[in-house]
Structure 1
Amino acid sequence: GNLPVPAPAVLGLLAGTGAVVVPAPTPEAARYELVTPTAAAIFATLARFEQPAMKVEAVGYGLGARHLESLPNALRVWVGEVAELPTEQTITLLETNIDDMPAELCGYLMERLFEAGARDVWFTPIQMKKNRPGILVSVLAPAALEDRLLDIIFRETTTLGVRRRPVGRHEAARELFKFESSLGPAAVKVKRWGGRPVNVSAEYEVCRELARRTGRPLQEIYRVVELEAWQKIAAQEVNEPWR
């Protein structure tokens, strides 16, 4: 018999992922399956349903076999690196007090929250009622992820309530700069303010691999990589001095 659109399998796969389901854009499109179960499974496994500012490196198109009069049967994919804008942003701060949970569960909670997209997670020692020591769990995240993070907090902790409030913060732009150093392939995070680089920070995993491969001390690897990164960045911006 006939099945509703979206198909039950598609809705089942997307439920709980944060995907927003909207009506078909035209009456004609409403008669056809625009998202297949295979696509829904890929989205549910790999996708985060948000659109960050990004540097687009490539664009790809896929065309479907069915011809629709009212809209193109096409999929467009952007590939690039996230580029955070130096502007004041409003994000959500979630907080809760806990005094009856083992420490190892706190570590697991932090891992889950970061995996779900939290910008930052930290624990603060506090004194609670009946003179019991406890911790204040604080989570910074985009407002769009609030429901997902609340679900993790309530499932993975003993808390009965979570406070929330919007907070504003100024952010410097950042980018990942990959280059060929004298020690091998390297990468640093570049912090920009006012459009100009003001700091570089070597990537730990890359430096660790270089240290193991070369046998040189890790702190020396850090110094070499960051110095050479500055030199290459300065050469790129010779017409726009930043020091």
Structure 2
Amino acid sequence: TNLLTVPLFIPTNHIETLHSGENINGVSNFSPLQYTKVHDYWGSMRDRIPASKHHNFNSLYKKDNLKPMVSNTKENRIRVYLPDNFCIIRTAQNWSECSDEERDTYLSLVEPVLKQGEDYIRNNPTETGCLSSKFVYEISLAGDSQDKSCVIAYFLSLSDLEDWSRAHPLHLNIYKTFFKMLEKYNFKTELALWHEVSVLKKEQAIFEYINCHSKTGLLPYSELQVTNY
């Protein structure tokens, strides 16, 4: 049996979410959406996290020192506790309400660039600070495919996520390609986008791996706080 479980405990003052419309997704299923003026400038993501008013969210670890390690994880049960102030982002796309033409435009123009960016952050941890990343196609509770996807990524710190999103050419290309789509449809699309970002302490997330491959998720990093039991 191969199993990975990730229970998260997220304080409401350590999370922010931003939606392009009023669709109910993620945390908005139990916390109502509100209009905000804190957007459309670099740094607004941090400013939308209430605790940022009195916390810098610095990490004790530096991304330059992230070196993937191969260890014996077969037939072991391992818990990984990330260092304080690690960052989780779930950034999502929903094209279920799009016309056939707009759907094809998104899937052929925007999604390939998005996947390219996700591949890069996953494969270049010392540059991006990304510990683990996954591109996911979403399904319903009944197991049916939906016209939705998301990237779920774990960064060493909020600053590392900010550096990637603000300045890296691949992330800027994601923006550029998306705006090409917006221009094509005169800035009136049915594509719904949203994201959630949380900054958590070590004890607020438990990553448990049972008989998993040594490169699964967070297992490759010897610097992380690991308990084998």
Question: Which of the pair has the greater relative contact order for Cα pairs under 8 Å at 6+ separation?
Answer: 2
Whether the TM-score (by the shorter chain) exceeds 0.5 is no
Question: What's the TM-score bracket when you normalise by the shorter of the two chains?
Answer: 0.3 to 0.5
Q: Which has the larger radius of gyration?
A: 1
> Which structure shows the higher strand fraction?
1
TM-score normalised by the chain length of structure 1: 0.31
Using the size of structure 2 for normalisation, the TM-score is 0.32
